[in-house]
Structure 1
Amino acid sequence: MVRIHFSAMCVGCTFLGMASLATIVGLWTVQLLPSTGTPAEPWNEHRLPDTLVPDYYNITLWPRLQPNIHGLFVFTGNSSLVFKCLRETDLILIHANKLNLTSTDGYVAKLFALGISVAPSIQKTWMQETTQYLVIQLKGKLKAGELYELYTEFVGELADDLAGFYRSEYEENGEKKIVATSQMHPTHARKTFPCFDEPAMRAVFYITLIHDRGTVALSNGMEIADTVLDGQPVTVTTFEPTKNMSSYLLALVVSDYTNVTSANDTLIRIWARKKAIEDGHGDYALNITGPILKFFENYYSVPYPLSKSDQIALPDFYFGAMENWGLVTYRETNLLYDPVISSNANKERTATIIAHELAHMWFGNLVTLKWWNEVWLNEGFASYVSYLGADFAEPSWNVKDLIILKDVHRAFAVDALASSHPLSSKEEDIIKPEQITEQFDTVSYSKGASVLRMLSDFLTEPVFVQGLNTYLTTFAYQNTVGEDLWNHLQTVSFCQYFLPLSVKEIMDRWVLQMGFPVVIINTTTGQVSQMHFLLDPETTLERLSPFNYEWIVPINWMKAEVEQPRFWLTEKTAFHSDMKATGNEWVLVNLNITGYYRVNYDTENWERLLNQLTENHEVIPVINRAQIVDDAFNLARAKIIPVTLALKTTKYLSKERDYMPWQSALNNLDYFYLMFTQTEVYEFLQNYTRKQVTPLFEHFKTITEDWSHVPTGHTDQYNQVNAIRFACSTGVDECQNLTTSWYRQWMDQTNHNPIHPNLRSTVYCSAIASGGGDEWDFGWLMFKNAIGIEADKLMSALACAKDTKLLERYLGYTLDASMIRKQDASSVIVYIASNPDGQTLAWDFVRRNWVYMFTEYGVGSFNFASLISGITKTFSTESELEQLLQFKSDNSEIGFGSGTAALEQAIEKTKANIKWVAENQREITDWLMAESA
């Protein structure tokens, strides 16, 4: 039976008055005790004991969308938690953070017994701040097998910190609007109500929201009743109970939004600001959500388990999106699509992010990993299948191949560092909130997606999805560990497909040790071998591997133009006679990059591949053309092959028209730009890149009939952007004149922007870089008047200015939320750092303001990992290394939060960059001089 405590609606007025007496933080009505106890005391442990498990919560919350007399936004609420006692105990530990717990009769909490026993009375309560617990010490013991109810009332701040129950602000028609919204993931539900805030502590949530009349309340379940509260100008909305789920999936929103709706098998609603919906910006999301949901129903062979699918676009949101079950939250730019101002890249991002979040409805929500040490399986899986869902919604894009550039190559870059980490960690090593947050990184998302794609390939997709189905149906509404998935895949693949070892034994090599191999092919002898690939092979590995850095490697390959049967490399070295090549035969390994590894060849085979690229590059699959370039550049950085061999892979590009090889080459040449912008090499690099990209620029000028339309192909549109961006940045006069004239036309006719949405980011940046104060001020004015995607494009382009005074002014804006939203501040700093004229300014700014940013803004506002990696990516001198080490030392006490691992990686990368520049600068200069002549 559900107990509904509507008494809190009256008590809420008392709460609001109390909250106005002081700031929320520190208004505890419970005793605060310092953390001086021994680790043996349960309240000093970061993991909940195994004594209690939740059954259901009955929660009522009332967010105030207007500030009180002290300028504070607050919410009030009460919670009835019904839990079961598994083992006899006299202690209740429940997560609570930044909540003021109180009650009308002076008790912080009330405990009731729902069985035959009598609830013990409460002896004392206190908040254990370091572990974020409300500690309730009982005079007697809870009985094993019995159900109890814990009732609490509380006040919290509806802060703008993007965590827990928080507020987001925006302007519409000149009026300031407030949205009360939530981000519980990963450890912020405890900031909203007292709860067992661990993923394995699944429960049913009965939610009631009290909100101003004229606003709309949303939660995971469908609204089932709206009533008016006597004597108050508010509406009370109750929702259908959620499925049994983890606390981090709870979602709450109060706003004056509206929606577009589609009702077939499942009710689908896209929510956003009224004007965005009126202007049709939610239509694309609505059109593809149904097909993507249907695709995943068929893919998993499990029906969508909820009655509705709400998706909502928020002005302020820390992550790109969050898979709350039944109410998915997004940054506005990731959900809304405006065909007038959105590019094809924006459209693709909307499709893939919707697919990513909807994939979680089953993998992550229906079945949830037991603990955050295996978060990679959740996020890596959704990242992988997001390409499948988006491909189903937009089959003409061929989006599945783009996983190579967006995830495989991205993962390689991080996983080749000695400071990388395994996909799975030990459970006891990931216990604190900041450690949990650090797990959501490139390794978890992109490497996770890459190795799962490899797994699907060598099992074959039909077997892979069959295993997923038995896994999801067996563990529905339960928690698992990664090994459970391997076991189900093994069951369906056993006796059907030959594997050298079990699925678990193969995958453990990829999951439990960091890094990846480079597979070395000798086409003279047929020898095939592997070794751990490190960008800096001289670095000291502090992390031991349980498998001595050996992998079980699936080898997909072709000889000349003929695909060959797969074989497995199960040891350091093996011989495969078919790998021998003679004459003009070339061998190409890792066909279509289905394996998560790099490939090196003997010199003769490299030359044969380069000759083939020169003579007829289209004989080699387009994905592998991109990989040849990427492998070669990274092998050269690791001092495995000469740097000139890597540069030779770009010589054929003057004939290349496909996007993936060009993007791969430009990504790798970008490293040269980062290292050599302040050196004599820069001019020669510019000359060479200009020579290679000019034919591409001319190609797109021709097929677009002098830029009068865009190419029809999805990736061709991407490559048109590449052609313009690099032609302009390397000094092609025709390109610079083109972008400047387009931008000037816009300045002259403010209400009409003649620049195609695909080209706006590039054109804005080029024009602002070549312009002055007038161009920057116009861009800033347009930015302040823009929302969503257009605002993002202008925000990045404003960092392209060459005037340091403009850049300094822009940096200052990042600490003023009225100028730059908190969620965007770290991005703006990184954009400025990516500009050679702004790099030093940005680094000095971060060092000067680190304490302020870290303490005042916190994890919900600044992405410290991306900030540190973005600021330091150009570091390549001893002076910069000294500054970085000093920065680490100066701030060791305050710390680096989610940026801790990024700082260690930055130090490692800088050391590697210093050595690489010293060893390669002369050779690179000579080669570029010769080739750009």
Structure 2
Amino acid sequence: MKLSQAIFGALNLANAQRDAWRLPTDLDPLNYNIQIKAFLDPDDQGKNEDLSTYPANTFQHFDATTSIKMNCTTATSQIVLNSLFLDFDVSTTSLKKGNKDVGISSVYFDKDLEQVTIMLNEEIKENDEIDLMIKYKGYLQPNNFGFYISYYEDAGKRNYVASSQMQGPYARRVFPGFDEPGFKATYEITMEYQKSMPWSDLEYYPLSNMPYKSSADCTNTSGWCVQEFDKTVEMSSYLTAFAIVDFGSVNTVTSVEKTPGAGSNEFCNVCSARASFFQYCSEMGVGKADQIALPDFNAGAMENWGLVTYREQSLLYDMNRDRFDRKFYVANVVSHEMAHMWFGDFVTCQFWDELWLNEAFATFISYVGLEENRDLETGRAFIANRYPAALQHDQTTSSNPIVNIENNNGKVDGHPKAGSSNIIYSKGGIILKNIRCFLGDEVFFGGLQNYLEEFKYSNPTTYDLTAAWENMRNEVGVLLKGKTVGDHWDPWLRQMGYPFLTVKYTDENTKGINIAQKRFLNNPDDDASKPSSSFDYKWPIPLQTAFKTGSDMKYMSTWIEEGDVNLESNIDFAIVNADYVSFFRTKYDGQILDDLVNVLSVDHKSVPSFTRANFVADYFAFAGKQATDIG
């Protein structure tokens, strides 16, 4: 398990008191060798198969062998892995330490914890390297989890395809292993498949994360082919991907796989628009970035390294049928998944409670990656798509922080412990936009480059990320009023909720403004101090203020919690949170509200459109609410 040094020691201590859902850290996977044989034809499941033993509504299965090379970090006489719906026992499990066989006394499954415990006849010592091999049977269930079965209809025939969705976590339904993002290893995949199927005139072929090692071996007279793939880089289990399909292909710089009748080639133009930004990041880590549109898929898309999977409507755009908003949707989804090749794949959160390191970045960068295409109006789309959902979801005491480790109504047992997607994706993306605006592109992107390089193929934390920005901030010389990047943004990342600001003039002549803040809650009867927070529901406010003097609109940025902000004298009106760069609501009080309403009535275009949207949205939220006065 490659972890940042800041948490390595703490993890060993926590292991003794670990959450039952979490795997112990006494073994570290180095390499998986997975051989999988998938039976797609429900009428041909091999010899001696008893379908009555299959899970409900399941008629297809796969046979597999998984070998795991592991290093022992703490002496142990047991191996605990994640496993669910995989059939094996002591007789199909073996362990070697070097050339020596290690006896296995029992194999115990805990279905509730989705774990298997393999008890050994002797203790494995620290620094021992061991090889575990398990032969087993798994099931191609029609449920979109793990390695699953689905179909599309063509010419009145049902064409079966097998594909995978491992994040959830569901890799444990395909191979026994360390199914947590912090356990990275390399993977060697071999897939056995039937090239011809009775329902299709097309040839079937397999796909996985890496390119083919060589041509498939189809010399077996039984009709089965064997395809080996190149060894992967170090990656998390949930990023592994498998597919056996008879799809057509659109070959560009990358490859787009789709059912024969689905979609057009417009994707190619969508893809090329983002190339310049993503090349700015660093090497991607794998040699291909295939995209595959599936007939059945739960999520919009999944960032499997080297083989990205999608719903058909999330990847394929028909320029003769679909509206422009569909083009933006497809472009944004593809951009999101390509951003994941770095944020999520190249560097990965250590556990799901810091999923924002994957998803918030992919959300924000997906819009940044489309900035060069002016027709898409990404700034407007980001505000319309992300701000309302995040503000609405985060206005209750049952919300959760972006970094979902504390201040979350008690740690939820089980997984994935990520929290609400509106918080992780949308609020997380908004905070990243805010950090970019206040640090500037040189610090923001320069810090990210250093972060990616330092933690490539490993599992950093939020502390590592803010430290990378802090180091770059010091190098460039950006000032933050004597505080660090972490000091300023930790309250936004590590506690739920957000403030509303009451803003009024300090003096009708000088036109300075006074700021007071209070936590915004939709229900005035809720206790604003709950759940408890080490930050006491106070936030350092990254404040961008705009004010009009004559014909000039001037902008000023500062940090404040509460107090006065001096502006120029003789201004016509003032705006707080100009251009919607920060995450709070604003309640104007007295003459400052009158001035703003007056200019909106006379010449609304003199107020930028993002600011107008902010003003209207906030006052709709305040309508009928009784808890927006600050004493």
2:253 is aligned with 1:256: no
The partner residue of 1:224 within 213, 218, 227 is 213
The partner residue of 2:376 within 392, 397, 401 is 397
State the one-letter code of the partner of 1:608: D
CA deviation after TM superposition for structure 1 residue 410, in Å = 1.3
Cα distance, 1:586–1:350 mapped onto 2, change above 3 Å? same
Q: Separation in 2 of the partners of 1:524 and 1:141?
A: 73
Deviates more, 1:350-359 or 1:607-616: 607-616
State the one-letter code of the partner of 2:305: W
CA deviation after TM superposition for structure 1 residue 514, in Å = 0.6
Q: Separation in 2 of the partners of 1:597 and 1:44?
A: 35
2:228 is aligned with 1:238: yes
- Residue of structure 2 in register with 1:86 after alignment: 73
The number of equivalent residue pairs is 583
The partner residue of 1:112 within 96, 99, 115 is 96
The partner residue of 1:562 within 549, 553, 556 is 553
Q: Secondary structure of the residue that 2:348 maps to in structure 1? A: strand
- Residue of structure 2 in register with 1:781 after alignment: none
- TM-score between the two structures when normalised by the length of structure 2: 0.88
Which structure would you say has the larger Rg?
1
State the one-letter code of the partner of 1:354: V
The partner residue of 2:301 within 321, 325, 339 is 321
- Residue of structure 2 in register with 1:169 after alignment: 151
2:508 is aligned with 1:528: no
The partner residue of 1:387 within 361, 367, 370 is 367
- Residue of structure 1 in register with 2:30 after alignment: 55
Cα distance, 1:359–1:637 mapped onto 2, change above 3 Å? farther
State the one-letter code of the partner of 2:580: I
CA deviation after TM superposition for structure 1 residue 337, in Å = 0.5
Asked if the contact 2:109–2:117 (Cα under 8 Å) also holds between the matched residues in 1, the reply is yes
- What does 1:178-189 correspond to in 2, within 5 Å? 178-189=160-171
- Residue of structure 1 in register with 2:510 after alignment: none
Q: Secondary structure of the residue that 2:534 maps to in structure 1? A: coil
Deviation per residue, 1:391-435 (Å, 9 max, x gap): 33x3222222221111122100111112111111228966755x4
Asked if the contact 1:293–1:358 (Cα under 8 Å) also holds between the matched residues in 2, the reply is no
Answer 1 or 2: which has greater strand percent. Answer: 2
Q: Separation in 2 of the partners of 1:430 and 1:123?
A: 35
Deviation per residue, 1:808-862 (Å, 9 max, x gap): xxxxxxxxxxxxxxxxxxxxxxxxxxxxxxxxxxxxxxxxxxxxxxxxxxxxxxx
State the one-letter code of the partner of 1:253: A
Cα distance, 1:40–1:518 mapped onto 2, change above 3 Å? closer
Q: Which runs of 5 or more residues in structure 2 are unaligned?
A: 1-13, 52-57, 196-202, 508-512
Q: Separation in 1 of the partners of 2:113 and 2:627?
A: 47
- Residue of structure 1 in register with 2:199 after alignment: none
CA deviation after TM superposition for structure 1 residue 510, in Å = 0.3
CA deviation after TM superposition for structure 1 residue 518, in Å = 1.1
Q: Secondary structure of the residue that 1:223 maps to in structure 2? A: coil
Deviation per residue, 1:742-769 (Å, 9 max, x gap): xxxxxxxxxxxxxxxxxxxxxxxxxxxx
Asked if the contact 1:523–1:601 (Cα under 8 Å) also holds between the matched residues in 2, the reply is no
Deviation per residue, 1:158-214 (Å, 9 max, x gap): 011111110112101211011100000031000001011111110111011111112
Q: Secondary structure of the residue that 1:369 maps to in structure 2? A: coil
Q: Separation in 1 of the partners of 2:568 and 2:589?
A: 12
State the one-letter code of the partner of 1:318: N
Q: Separation in 2 of the partners of 1:390 and 1:119?
A: 55
- Residue of structure 1 in register with 2:184 after alignment: 202
- What does 1:433-444 correspond to in 2, within 5 Å? 433=414, 435-436=415-416, 439-444=419-424
CA deviation after TM superposition for structure 1 residue 371, in Å = 1.0
Q: Separation in 1 of the partners of 2:72 and 2:272?
A: 42
Q: Secondary structure of the residue that 2:148 maps to in structure 1? A: strand
- What does 1:389-428 correspond to in 2, within 5 Å? 389-392=369-372, 394-426=373-405
Cα distance, 1:75–1:489 mapped onto 2, change above 3 Å? same
- What does 1:75-154 correspond to in 2, within 5 Å? 75-101=62-88, 107-114=91-98, 118-154=100-136
Cα distance, 1:579–1:96 mapped onto 2, change above 3 Å? farther
Q: Separation in 2 of the partners of 1:418 and 1:581?
A: 42
Asked if the contact 1:220–1:252 (Cα under 8 Å) also holds between the matched residues in 2, the reply is yes
State the one-letter code of the partner of 2:479: F
CA deviation after TM superposition for structure 1 residue 82, in Å = 0.7
Asked if the contact 2:18–2:24 (Cα under 8 Å) also holds between the matched residues in 1, the reply is no
Asked if the contact 1:47–1:431 (Cα under 8 Å) also holds between the matched residues in 2, the reply is no
The partner residue of 1:66 within 41, 57, 69 is 41
CA RMSD of aligned residues (A): 2.2
Asked if the contact 2:354–2:418 (Cα under 8 Å) also holds between the matched residues in 1, the reply is no
Cα distance, 1:42–1:61 mapped onto 2, change above 3 Å? farther
- What does 1:533-932 correspond to in 2, within 5 Å? 533-541=520-528, 542-560=530-548, 561-569=552-560, 571=561, 573-578=562-567, 585-639=572-626
Identity value in percent: 30
- Residue of structure 1 in register with 2:4 after alignment: none
Q: Separation in 1 of the partners of 2:570 and 2:233?
A: 59
Asked if the contact 1:373–1:430 (Cα under 8 Å) also holds between the matched residues in 2, the reply is no
Q: Separation in 2 of the partners of 1:448 and 1:357?
A: 16
Q: Secondary structure of the residue that 2:235 maps to in structure 1? A: coil
Asked if the contact 1:272–1:282 (Cα under 8 Å) also holds between the matched residues in 2, the reply is no
Cα distance, 1:152–1:637 mapped onto 2, change above 3 Å? farther
State the one-letter code of the partner of 2:354: E
Q: Separation in 2 of the partners of 1:182 and 1:145?
A: 34
State the one-letter code of the partner of 2:388: H
CA deviation after TM superposition for structure 1 residue 147, in Å = 1.3
- What does 1:502-513 correspond to in 2, within 5 Å? 502-513=484-495
Cα distance, 1:440–1:535 mapped onto 2, change above 3 Å? closer
Asked if the contact 1:55–1:84 (Cα under 8 Å) also holds between the matched residues in 2, the reply is yes
CA deviation after TM superposition for structure 1 residue 43, in Å = 11
Q: Secondary structure of the residue that 2:252 maps to in structure 1? A: strand
Q: Separation in 1 of the partners of 2:251 and 2:313?
A: 20
Q: Secondary structure of the residue that 1:228 maps to in structure 2? A: coil
State the one-letter code of the partner of 2:480: L
Q: Separation in 2 of the partners of 1:492 and 1:43?
A: 35
Deviates more, 1:476-485 or 1:128-137: 128-137
Deviation per residue, 1:776-795 (Å, 9 max, x gap): xxxxxxxxxxxxxxxxxxxx
Cα distance, 1:581–1:442 mapped onto 2, change above 3 Å? farther
CA deviation after TM superposition for structure 1 residue 58, in Å = 0.6
CA deviation after TM superposition for structure 1 residue 367, in Å = 0.7
- Residue of structure 2 in register with 1:498 after alignment: 479
The partner residue of 1:454 within 434, 447, 464 is 434
Cα distance, 1:488–1:347 mapped onto 2, change above 3 Å? same
Q: Separation in 1 of the partners of 2:18 and 2:283?
A: 41
Q: Secondary structure of the residue that 2:575 maps to in structure 1? A: strand
Q: Secondary structure of the residue that 1:367 maps to in structure 2? A: coil
Q: Separation in 1 of the partners of 2:231 and 2:624?
A: 55
CA deviation after TM superposition for structure 1 residue 437, in Å = 6.1
- TM-score between the two structures when normalised by the length of structure 1: 0.60
Asked if the contact 1:61–1:208 (Cα under 8 Å) also holds between the matched residues in 2, the reply is yes
Asked if the contact 1:537–1:638 (Cα under 8 Å) also holds between the matched residues in 2, the reply is yes
State the one-letter code of the partner of 2:478: Y
Asked if the contact 1:223–1:237 (Cα under 8 Å) also holds between the matched residues in 2, the reply is yes
Asked if the contact 2:207–2:243 (Cα under 8 Å) also holds between the matched residues in 1, the reply is yes
Asked if the contact 1:581–1:587 (Cα under 8 Å) also holds between the matched residues in 2, the reply is no
- Residue of structure 2 in register with 1:289 after alignment: 271
Q: Separation in 1 of the partners of 2:220 and 2:277?
A: 46
- Residue of structure 2 in register with 1:275 after alignment: 261
Q: Which runs of 5 or more residues in structure 1 are unaligned?
A: 1-38, 643-933
Q: Secondary structure of the residue that 1:283 maps to in structure 2? A: coil
Q: Separation in 1 of the partners of 2:602 and 2:18?
A: 70
Q: Separation in 2 of the partners of 1:443 and 1:119?
A: 49
Q: Secondary structure of the residue that 1:468 maps to in structure 2? A: helix
